[in-house]
């Protein structure tokens, strides 16, 4: 039953509370990192979105998925697809930071990332293949805390899975993007990490070369990078 509840909550978080979103008849298919769920749907509810781990989306595009736009939480995936001729030249449009989250009430009493080493905790993180999981491992290595990976009880395929597990108390702590905390602020508390340990979290976006809507896709990318798009991203907590 607990697992069912976790799945349901994760789906709600992925939906971003946007049940009213209605793609139009001429909408595009936008494949985007899970951490972009709320901001993209809020900015333009009229498109068809596929939100998941950036690595999963890149694989789907390689396999011929009918995407018009790909927005990744790491340049690694857009750049690889670009080198292989599968997307047009990627451009940067946003940045983010990684934070440590704990459930509201913080039953494990975690006050600092260093408490992960001192306390008997259950930790949930992203898999090493997904950007948030890769960033997490970089941070722990820089902090000299790689040993806490032995306390990981679950590795999730995208950041929303981490949010869902911690929000329901399935884990004592997890690593997510700062922007993922706001939509679940009534269930989570964020603990900031040392700035010097932060990796550069940079989002890139590109038009998929097999898209049948290239002109519209290029226009949409221009829109998310416009003043209005930057405002929407900034309000959601992204750097622009």
pLDDT in tens, 123-145: 999 999 999 999 999 999 999 99
Q: pLDDT tens digits for 209-221?
A: 999 999 999 999 9
Look at residue 122 and tell me whether its pLDDT is greater than 90. Answer: yes
pLDDT of residue 205: 98
Prediction pTM value: 0.89
Residues of the chain with CATH 3.40.190.10: 2-95+202-235, 96-197
CATH architecture of structural domain 2-95+202-235: 3-Layer(aba) Sandwich (3.40)
Look at residue 197 and tell me whether its pLDDT is greater than 90. Answer: yes
Look at residue 114 and tell me whether its pLDDT is greater than 70. Answer: yes
Look at residue 183 and tell me whether its pLDDT is greater than 60. Answer: yes
- Exposed/middle/buried for residue 181 (C-beta within 10 Å: 0-12, 13-18, 19+): middle
* 141-165 as b/e: b if 16+ CB within 10 A: eebeeeebbebeebbbbbbbbbbbb
Listed in sequence order, the residues at least 6 apart from 143 whose beta carbon sits closer than 8 Å to its beta carbon are 113, 114, 193, 194, 197
Q: Would strands 152-156 and 188-191 be described as parallel, antiparallel, or unpaired?
A: unpaired
pLDDT of residue 24: 63
pLDDT of residue 25: 55
Q: pLDDT tens digits for 22-39?
A: 566 579 999 999 999 999
CATH classification code of 96-197:
3.40.190.10
% pLDDT > 70, the chain: 90
């Amino acid at each position: 039953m607990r697992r069912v509840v976790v799945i349901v909550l994760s789906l709600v978080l992925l939906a971003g509370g946007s049940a009213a979103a209605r793609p139009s008849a001429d909408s595009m298919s936008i494949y985007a990192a899970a951490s972009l769920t709320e901001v993209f749907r809020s900015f333009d509810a009229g498109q068809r979105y596929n939100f998941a781990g950036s690595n999963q989306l890149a694989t789907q595009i390689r396999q011929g998925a009918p995407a018009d736009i790909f927005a990744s939480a790491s340049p690694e995936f857009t750049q690889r697809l670009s080198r292989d001729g599968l997307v047009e030249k990627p451009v940067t449009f946003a940045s983010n930071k990684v934070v440590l989250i704990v459930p509201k009430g913080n039953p494990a009493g975690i006050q600092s990332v260093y408490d992960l080493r001192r306390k008997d905790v259950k930790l949930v993180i992203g898999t090493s293949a997904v950007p948030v999981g890769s960033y997490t491992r970089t941070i722990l290595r820089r902090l000299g805390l790689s040993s806490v990976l032995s306390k990981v009880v679950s590795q999730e395929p995208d950041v929303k899975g981490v949010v869902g597990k911690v929000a329901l108390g399935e884990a004592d702590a997890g690593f997510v993007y700062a922007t993922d905390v706001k939509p679940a602020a009534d269930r989570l508390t964020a603990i900031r990490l040392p700035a010097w340990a932060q990796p550069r979290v940079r989002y890139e976006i590109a038009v998929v070369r097999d898209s049948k809507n290239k002109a519209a896709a290029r226009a949409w990318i221009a829109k998310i990078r416009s003043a209005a798009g930057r405002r929407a991203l900034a309000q959601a907590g992204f750097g622009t």
